[in-house]
């Protein structure tokens, strides 16, 4: 059969049949023929695509920022809402649209600006203000980025800010506009108000048939949330026992080995002249080089300057032009590795007095004449002065090494664990701990960690009982988790939901009665009754509010906000009357008696300029919002709500 196929593929008919396939494979790849296309986007805006992976990463970053800001008060459930998730995605869409608009307008992020931002965001990649590619890669790897991904992300963020920056820079206001802004900003109002008490419902106001009817028509709103219970094993460097401190002998050894950390070693400002000869040279060549070195030494001792002889005759290209200068050379630490100079060289150097020149000294490079131009005495802290520091460092290092051993063992054990964490616990010399059942967003401690929640509420975690990989809670703090019990979301019975239903009905009826009473009170006020007479009949207290500014904290903020929306009184004896609703659901009656504009006479230039910047920022924000709306209106935005 195979031979049959080979024979047929040589025919013209086979060529005609195969040509379309060759064309398809050439342009789209053979993979496209066998592998189905998968749409990994969560949103598109015209030609712009945001993948689900990009969105998930940004969502985790936002949650991490909120956790960092809120500390122990952080509760992931507060942010597990459609509004929060949609807000994150909308910001990503706006950023991409702004970046694209900037590119179309010819705006671009320069390499210098990119490097400046990298230095700001990854300062640890700069050692003594010098960029270290190795440190940079290592730091980014720890947070899951390659340099290319990270730089693309920064460039996108900067690009998204180019147009807002230009809009702010082009915003302007005249002195007249700025003064009008100050007059409105610093405006104050005199008013009186009373806050009506919410009506009390009778104990039997909510009937059983109402509860049943509401429950039946809103069944989808009353559910027992999905829950999981966890087993986990924790490895936390902070909980590891402190190792015993090392002996004095060990500390002395460390001290001698790292002496340069504790001050300035004895150093000698050194010059040399090299007469080069290879180690493999013949005895005759060695003798010739030694004789040359001796002749040069004779010239120096005869009165020639060492530097002049070095420039004329030294074979060391690196120091020849500078007269043999090698700078300060520190006295070698005994048994230290990585010495720059051979022992024969340093032994001779540190046996000389200041100003002296050595006899020819043989090293692997040849013969040296060594001159000591200056001696810098040692200034090093004593062992007793640094003993405590050395001991603490040694203990911390030992604990870090122990943590690394246990971390490796934990990783190995978790990679093969199935159905139990016992072997993981044994690997870290710990124990399996439990977290009782909790719903998504409601866990505390390790269960509140976003990465833990992502795993335990994933299908892999909650349905298959899989043992997780190492999850980082914080630096040097890992857990491995496994779902020990999973209960899916399920409808509540009427008995379970009764309290919730009753609370909702009570709120609704309370709101309705409060609005009815407020409308009746407003009718009385507009009909000519005074606040005081309404106060006498309702029991609400009248409060006087004089010279209240927009940012007043002496009165309810939502009340003040509504009062500043009221029309200015027509005359001093004709206050503006009205009703306001507060954020907490209460209603208030208000008599606005006067409006006083902020003082703009005699404004000094500094105050005027500061106000101008405030107004400029407000105008720029308004322009920016309009520009965003325009960008969005110009493209079709499609969001896959199921992936949020």
Helix, strand or coil, per DSSP, at residue 42: strand
Give the burial class of 409: count Cβ atoms within 10 A of its Cβ; 0-12 exposed, 13-18 middle, 19 or more buried: middle
**Listed residues 321, 350, 377: the one ending a domain:** 377
The whole-number pLDDT of residue 560 equals 96
- Residue 195's DSSP bridge partners are 588
Q: Are residues 456 and 536 in the same domain?
A: no
Q: Tell me which DSSP letter residue 575 carries.
A: -
The whole-number pLDDT of residue 297 equals 95
Q: Are residues 273 and 354 in the same domain?
A: yes
In three state form, how does the secondary structure of 188-243 look? EEEEEEEECCCCCCCCCCCCHHHHHHHHHHCHHHCEECCEEEEEEEEEEHHHCCCC
Q: Are residues 589 and 515 in the same domain?
A: yes
Q: Are residues 412 and 333 in the same domain?
A: no
Q: Is residue 615 part of a domain?
A: no
Q: Are residues 538 and 587 in the same domain?
A: yes
Q: Are residues 475 and 524 in the same domain?
A: no
Q: Is residue 152 part of a domain?
A: no
Q: Are residues 448 and 484 in the same domain?
A: yes
Strands 433-439 and 223-224: unpaired
Q: Is residue 418 part of a domain?
A: yes
Domain range spanning residue 7?
Answer: 2-34
**Listed residues 330, 351, 377: the one ending a domain:** 377
Ranges of beta strands (E only) in 524-641 are: 542-549, 576-581, 587-596, 637-639
Series of mean pLDDT values for 10-residue runs along the chain (644 residues): 34 38 37 49 92 86 83 74 88 92 88 89 82 84 82 87 90 91 95 93 86 92 91 92 86 79 82 94 94 95 94 93 92 68 92 94 95 88 84 86 93 93 95 92 83 90 90 91 94 92 92 94 95 94 96 94 95 93 94 95 90 92 93 93 78
For residue 209 the two structure tokens come to: 């048939």
**C-alpha 388 chain-centroid distance:** 36
Is residue 286 a contact partner of residue 294, using CB atoms and an 8 Å limit?
no
Q: Are residues 393 and 477 in the same domain?
A: yes
Q: Is residue 632 part of a domain?
A: no
| Structural element, H or E, at residue 110 | none
The whole-number pLDDT of residue 133 equals 83
For residue 565 the two structure tokens come to: 């929306």
Q: Is residue 109 part of a domain?
A: no
- Number of structural domains (the chain) is 4
For residue 33 the two structure tokens come to: 């023929």
Q: Are residues 464 and 438 in the same domain?
A: yes
**Listed residues 491, 519, 549: the one ending a domain:** 491
The whole-number pLDDT of residue 202 equals 80
- 642 Cβ partners below 8 Å, 6+ apart? none
pTM to 2 decimals? 0.53
Q: Are residues 561 and 465 in the same domain?
A: no
Q: Is residue 281 part of a domain?
A: yes
Q: Is residue 629 part of a domain?
A: no
Ranges of beta strands (E only) in 60-182 are: 126-127, 130-131
Q: Is residue 559 part of a domain?
A: yes
CATH of the domain at 351: 3.10.50.40
First to last CA, the chain: 53
Q: Are residues 293 and 330 in the same domain?
A: yes
Q: Are residues 487 and 500 in the same domain?
A: no
pLDDT, tens only, 512-527: 999 999 999 999 999 9
Sign of CA dihedral 277, 279, 280, 281: positive
């Amino acid at each position: 059969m195979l031979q049959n196929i080979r024979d047929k593929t040589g025919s013209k008919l086979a060529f005609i049949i195969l040509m379309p396939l060759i064309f398809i494979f050439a342009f789209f790849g053979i993979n496209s023929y066998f592998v189905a296309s998968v749409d990994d986007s969560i949103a598109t805006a015209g030609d712009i695509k945001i993948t689900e992976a990009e969105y998930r990463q940004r969502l985790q970053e936002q949650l991490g920022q909120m956790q960092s800001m809120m500390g122990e008060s952080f509760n992931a459930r507060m942010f597990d809402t459609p509004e929060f998730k949609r807000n994150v995605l909308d910001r990503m869409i706006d950023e991409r649209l702004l970046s694209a608009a900037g590119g179309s307008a010819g705006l671009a992020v320069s390499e210098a600006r990119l490097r400046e931002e990298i230095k700001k965001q990854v300062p640890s990649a700069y050692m003594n203000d010098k960029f270290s590619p190795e440190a940079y890669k290592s730091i980014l790897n720890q947070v899951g980025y390659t340099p290319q991904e990270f730089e693309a992300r920064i460039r996108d963020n900067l690009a998204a800010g180019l147009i807002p920056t230009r809009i702010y820079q082009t915003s302007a206001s005249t002195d007249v506009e700025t003064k009008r802004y100050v007059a409105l900003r610093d405006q104050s109002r005199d008013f009186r108000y009373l806050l009506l008490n919410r009506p009390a419902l009778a104990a039997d106001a909510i009937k059983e048939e109402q509860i049943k009817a509401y429950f039946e028509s809103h069944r989808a709103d009353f559910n027992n949330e999905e829950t999981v219970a966890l087993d986990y094993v924790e490895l936390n460097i902070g909980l590891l026992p402190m190792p015993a401190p090392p002996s004095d002998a060990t500390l002395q050894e460390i001290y001698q080995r790292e002496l340069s950390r504790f001050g300035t070693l004895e150093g000698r400002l050194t010059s040399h002249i090299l007469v080069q000869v290879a180690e493999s040279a013949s005895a005759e060549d060695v003798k010739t080089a030694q004789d040359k070195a001796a002749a040069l030494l004779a010239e120096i001792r005869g009165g020639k300057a060492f530097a002049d002889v070095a420039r004329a005759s030294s074979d060391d290209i690196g120091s020849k032009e500078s007269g043999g200068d090698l700078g300060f050379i520190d006295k070698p630490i005994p048994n230290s590795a990585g010495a720059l100079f051979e022992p024969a060289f340093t032994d001779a150097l540190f046996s000389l007095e200041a100003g002296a020149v050595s006899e020819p000294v043989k090293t692997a490079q040849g013969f040296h004449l060594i001159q000591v131009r200056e001696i810098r005495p040692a200034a090093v802290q004593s062992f007793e002065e640094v003993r405590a520091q050395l001991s603490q460092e040694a203990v911390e290092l030992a604990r870090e090494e122990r943590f690394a051993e246990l971390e490796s063992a934990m990783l190995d054990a978790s990679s093969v664990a199935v159905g139990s964490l016992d072997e993981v616990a044994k690997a870290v010399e710990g124990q399996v701990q439990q977290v009782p059942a909790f719903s998504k967003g409601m866990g505390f401690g390790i269960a509140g960690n976003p990465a833990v929640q992502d795993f335990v509420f994933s299908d892999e975690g909650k349905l298959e009982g899989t043992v997780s990989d190492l999850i980082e809670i914080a630096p040097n703090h890992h857990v491995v988790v496994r779902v020990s019990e999973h209960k899916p979301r399920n409808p509540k019975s009427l008995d379970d939901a009764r309290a919730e239903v009753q609370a909702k009905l009570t709120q609704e009826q309370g709101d309705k009665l409060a609005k009815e009473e407020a409308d009746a009170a407003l009718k009385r006020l507009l009909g000519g009754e005074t606040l005081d007479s309404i106060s006498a009949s309702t029991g609400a207290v009248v409060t006087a509010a004089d010279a209240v500014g927009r940012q007043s904290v002496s009165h309810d903020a939502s009340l003040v906000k509504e009062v500043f929306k009221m029309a200015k009184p027509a005359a001093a004896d004709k206050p503006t009357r009205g009703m306001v609703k507060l954020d907490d659901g209460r209603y208030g009656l208000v008599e606005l008696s006067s409006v006083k504009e902020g003082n703009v006479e005699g404004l000094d230039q500094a105050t005027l300029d500061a106000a101008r910047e405030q107004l400029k920022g407000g105008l720029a924000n308004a322009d920016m919002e309009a520009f965003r709306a325009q960008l969005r209106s110009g493209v079709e935005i499609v969001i896959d709500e199921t992936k949020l």
